[in-house]
Amino acid sequence: EFTTKLDFLRKLQAIEEVKGMQNLQNHNYQLLRNILPEHVAQHYLGQNKNHEELYSQAHSCVGIMFASIVNFSSCYSHLDEHEQVIKSLRLLNEIIFDIDNLISQERFRCLEKIKTIGSTYMAASGLTPHNAVYPENSKSHLCMLAHLALLLKRVIADVNVHSGKDFKLRIGLAYGPVVAGVIGAKKPQYDIWGLAVNLASRMDSTGMPDTIQVPEDLYNVLKTRGFTFKYRDVTCVKGIGKLKTYYLTGCTEEAARRVGIDRAISALGAAPQQGHHSLADVVFGLVQASHRHKRYETTEEEKAYHNNAFSSVNN
């Protein structure tokens, strides 16, 4: 009898140890997933992998986006240095949080956040295994990147409404071949390299506030897929030369509905311009708006500063 009880206790202990190991493995995977794309994390967690081996992958067609809030720092220039850093970081974190939630929606599964650089958000399309659903050499994922860029303008407009700020978003898009890889041992970072990355960055830096600038080759891809443009001019791009560039201004209702962008807007808490919605949808939107207002709300001191600045300009 004593031996039977002892075996039973050992089995219980073994079960608990297995559960503990599984929980630890899941925890480690989530930590790794937070810093690396899912398919890259699975590469490192796979069986018989040499973890000292560098991960790299060449891609022939990748879309790249740089989205910058060009006047983010200037909106806090009236505060002292310490207070300026605290307030700006808090609001920037909320903005990045909303963009992360947007890009994490299932409809944007072909997109991947690369990194943030100050108040610039970098993302790419065509890197994930989800692109296998598209025909070979398809550029359909570029449409989703363009839709994301248009939605980001909606996100910043929403931030401005609830924070009392006047942030200006400037976005640059481009596409082409890149090499993706992980660098670093103690703090690994997933990144992409290539001429297309530099071009997208230049499309951002040479653009105007509240615009989405694209080169002619991307314009030629998107113009036949329901997107609307305005020709800018021939733009001098450092390290590349002179290029014809265009401003992405919007898309047709059909193009947006085809990929579920109206539902993506609803998920942001703002109802689409057309269509009927249930009472639950309306209530959900109001709750979302209330939450965003609380997260973005400005202090009384900030409101007074902006009101005084506005009055002085008018006078």
pLDDT in tens, 174-191: 999 999 999 887 778 899
**From the candidates 11, 19, 49, 238, which is the catalytic residue?**
238
What is the phi/psi pair of residue 45, to 5°?
A: -90, 0
Q: Given this model, what pLDDT does residue 239 score?
A: 86
The whole model's pTM is what? 0.76
Taking 90 as the threshold, does the pLDDT of residue 16 lie above it? Answer: no
Q: Given this model, what pLDDT does residue 246 score?
A: 97
Catalytic, 5? Answer: no
Catalytic, 257? Answer: no
Pick from 9-23, 263-277, 290-304 the range whose average pLDDT is largest.
Answer: 9-23
Which of 201, 192, 212 is CA-nearest to residue 237? 201
Rounded CA-CA distance 309/305 in Å is 6
Taking 60 as the threshold, does the pLDDT of residue 80 lie above it? Answer: yes
Task: Taking each helix axis as running N to C, give the angle between helix 38-45 and helix 2-35, from 0 to 180 degrees, rounded to the nearest 10.
Answer: 140
Among the residue ranges 140-154, 192-206, 231-245, 293-307, the one predicted with the least confidence is 293-307
Taking 80 as the threshold, does the pLDDT of residue 262 lie above it? Answer: no
Rounded average pLDDT over 202-213: 96
| Predicted confidence (pLDDT) per residue in 271-313, tens digit | 334 333 344 444 445 445 555 555 555 544 554 544 554 444 3
Question: Do residues 77 and 192 touch, judged by C-beta distance below 8 A?
Answer: no
Q: Please state, for a pLDDT cut of 90, what percent of the chain lies above it.
A: 39
Residue 199 burial (10 A CB sphere; 0-12, 13-18, 19+): buried
165 vs 50 pLDDT, higher one: 165
Q: Given this model, what pLDDT does residue 267 score?
A: 56
Rounded CA-CA distance 264/262 in Å is 5
Place of tokens 């970081």: 89
Going by pLDDT thresholds of 50, 70 and 90, the confidence category of residue 23 is confident
Q: Given this model, what pLDDT does residue 290 score?
A: 56
Question: Do residues 260 and 254 touch, judged by C-beta distance below 8 A?
Answer: no
**From the candidates 113, 165, 202, 292, which is the catalytic residue?**
202
Domains, the chain, ranges and CATH? 20-53 (no CATH), 56-314 (3.30.70.1230)
Rounded CA-CA distance 122/152 in Å is 12
| Predicted confidence (pLDDT) per residue in 148-168, tens digit | 999 999 999 988 888 888 899
